[in-house]
Structure 1
Amino acid sequence: MMNKKIDLNPSNMKYKVTKKDLRRACWRWNWFCVNMFNYETQEGPGVAISLAPLLRKIYPNDDEYEKALTNHFRYFNTTPIMGNLLLGAVVAMEEKDGLKAAETIQSFKTSMMGPLAGIGDTIFWVLWPTIMGSLSGYMALQGNPLGAIVWLIVNILLYILKYWFYDVGYTSGTKLIDNLGTKLNIFTEAASIMGLTVIGSLVATVVKVSTSLTFQMGKVNLALQTGVLDKIMPALLPALLTFIVYKLLENKKWTATRVIFLVILLALIGTYFGVFKA
């Protein structure tokens, strides 16, 4: 009887990624993606530290593990939540092709981090907090405690979404992102239009600015707010104030804190001299 030679070299045995591995990698990415940020590789160290335990299992050989880990220390920067989708696909590529896919993985990350950041910044850094934060803040202004509860629930759902993105990226691999590639610009533009519409409506309903000035000639009294400004455009003063604030924020010399203090100062002075209604 011939004895079969069994190769027990672990490097020839492919490791199968588990749900627990994905959860751990996702958790580490969500905590370290920005905390490890630097001006040379930006989120690169966050990618490496998030994938390190998983790569150790895929590459039990020290030399292979070092090469794989070093490959992820390169420059990387995208919206953190969209990074979950991209890194999930990267894990699938590492598991399937190993070090042979090192350059492909890096090219994939480099080519997709920009388009995904365009969507992520628009939706999750502008629309999501602006819309939900404004709704929650508006309920709080009305004395409704649901405002704080809604904001808390929304953030919990957002955290769950991060884990779901990681799973989708892993199970769909590069196919999902490749299919989205031609639609990213359209989706981003549509989201931007929706965001401008929502912000415009919030300016008219939430920002409260009105003047008590009146124009008087003889026996004629004309209220500047109701008789002139409202007839030109309702909520004209809130729109002008919002426009001025945005313009100031574009100037590097004006921080958000300075703008807030300026608005408070104008409100106090204007109300004291009767320019604005109290």
Structure 2
Amino acid sequence: MSKGKVLTKKDCRTAAKRWLIGISTFNYETQLAPSYAFAVYPLLRKMYPDDEDFKASLLNAMRYYNTMPWISPFVMGAALGIEDDGGVESLEAVNNFKIGIMGPLAGIGDTIGWAMIPTIFGSIAASMGMQGNPLGIFLWAAFTFAFLAVRILEVEWGYNMGINVVTKLGKPITVFTEACSVLGLTVVGSLISSVVKLQTGITYTNGDVTMKVQELLDGVMPSLLPVAAVALIYYFMNKKKVKMTHMILIIIILSWIGAACGIFTA
């Protein structure tokens, strides 16, 4: 049994780095439990000088565990904080805590870590790169290294919060998720006009007067056709469940036909 907290910031960062190395350790019975056990192994050994207590803690770490890999260090840190405070008697509480929090945080991690933040920074970096601005690659590199640093620090943050993580992060996470959603939609919407290129070559002739339809559309709203095209693609993929690969083929075929008939121009 551990007596008083013994783990340090260095220990927490060691666990985070071991998690990054051992994340590929996976099985279909306990999911990411082997990765979790590998990450916390030296910390548990430090917490439990007694071999029997150490074995009990390590077996507890090998119980079913699965959450979003980028958010897992935070769960790991909070669980270590509880166990370092309560010792071997807290093992059941530690496992119950992991089971209760890994699901909700996985959903948040998938939304923010997989979708929102990479999409925002990736879209901006890609747009800059397409315009020949070399800062795009540096922006993406800065985001990658910053996110890596956050993943390493997550264990320490979770460890300091312990069981209070639920009460401390409940409302802030909700606000942060909503803010990321708004920012992501704003960035994607602004990129439509700069990245999606779609113009029509149709002209309207009445006597000696010839008018280009594209100029009329630009007068109503610039980039109207790209916005309409993206909205139509979203409708078919979201409402009609058209697969992305099929949608890409449809866009290519319609582009060929439109260009050949003079409907679309570069």
- TM superposition score category, shorter chain reference: 0.7 to 0.9
Tell whether the 8 Å contact from 2:121 to 2:140 is kept in structure 1 after alignment: yes
TM-aligned CA deviation for residue 26 of structure 1:
0.3
Alignment correspondent of 1:82: 71
The answer to whether residue 255 in structure 2 is matched with residue 273 in structure 1 is no
Rounded to whole Å, the distance in 2 between the matches of 1:92 and 1:179 is 15
Q: Which of 173, 177, 180 is residue 188 of structure 1 equivalent to?
A: 177
Instruction: Give 2:99's aligned residue.
Output: 110
Query: Closer, same or farther in 2 for the Cα pair 1:187/1:12, shift >3 Å?
Result: closer
> Is the Cα–Cα contact under 8 Å of residues 122 and 191 in structure 1 kept in the other structure?
no
More divergent stretch after superposition (158-167 vs 193-202): 193-202
Choose which of 108, 112, 129 in structure 2 pairs with 1:123: 112
Cα separation, 1, equivalents of 2:104 and 2:169: 10
Contact 2:2-2:86 at 8 Å conserved across structures: no
Find the aligned partners of 2:237 and 2:33 in 1 and give their Cα distance: 29
Which amino acid letter does the alignment assign opposite residue 69 of structure 1? L
- Return the alpha-carbon distance in structure 2 between the equivalents of residues 12 and 157 of structure 1: 34
Quick one: higher RCO (CA 8 Å, sep 6+), 1 or 2?
2
* Paired residue type of 1:156: F
Pick closer, same or farther for the CA change 1:143–1:183 going to 2, 3 Å. Answer: closer
Query: Once structures 1 and 2 are overlaid, which stretch shifts more, 116-125 or 144-153?
Result: 116-125
Q: What is the distance in 2 between the residues matched to 1:252 and 1:41?
A: 33
Report the CA distance between 1:133 and its aligned residue: 1.0
**CA pair 221-110 structure 1, distance change in 2 beyond 3 A:** farther
Is the contact made by 1:138 and 1:147 (CA closer than 8 Å) also made in structure 2?
yes
Note the C-alpha offset of 1:252: 7.0
Deviation, structure 1 residue 23: 1.9
* Match status 1:235 vs 2:223: yes
Q: Structure 1 length as normaliser, TM-score?
A: 0.80
Taking a change above 3 Å as real, the CA distance of residues 146 and 246 of structure 1, as seen in their structure-2 partners, is: same
Instruction: Specify the code of the residue in structure 2 equivalent to 1:193.
Output: V
- The one of 67, 77, 96 aligned to 2:56: 67
Q: Distance in 2 between matches of 1:38 and 1:28?
A: 18
Corresponding position of 2:7: 17
Corresponding position: 1:135 with 2:124: yes
The count of corresponding residues between Structure 1 and Structure 2 is 265
Superposed displacement of residue 172, structure 1:
2.7
AA paired with 1:89? A
Q: C-alpha distance in 1, partners of 2:168/2:5?
A: 28
Long gaps (5+) in structure 2: none
Structure 1: 5+ residue stretches without partners: 1-10
Pair 1:264–1:69, CA change in 2 (3 A): farther
Shift of 1:159: 0.8
Residues 265 and 50 of structure 1: CA distance in aligned 2, closer, same or farther (over 3 Å) = farther
Counterparts in 2 of 1:99 and 1:241: CA distance versus 1, 3 Å: farther
Q: Where do residues 1-278 of structure 1 align in structure 2 (5 Å cutoff)?
A: 16-33=6-23, 35-227=24-216, 229-231=217-219, 233-247=221-235, 249-250=237-238, 254-255=243-244, 259-278=247-266
| Matched-pair contact (CA < 8 Å) for 1:119–1:187 | no
| SS at structure 2 position matched to 1:173 | helix
Instruction: Give the residue type in structure 2 aligned to 1:198.
Output: V
When residues 213 and 253 of structure 1 are mapped into structure 2, their CA distance, relative to the original with a 3 A threshold, is closer
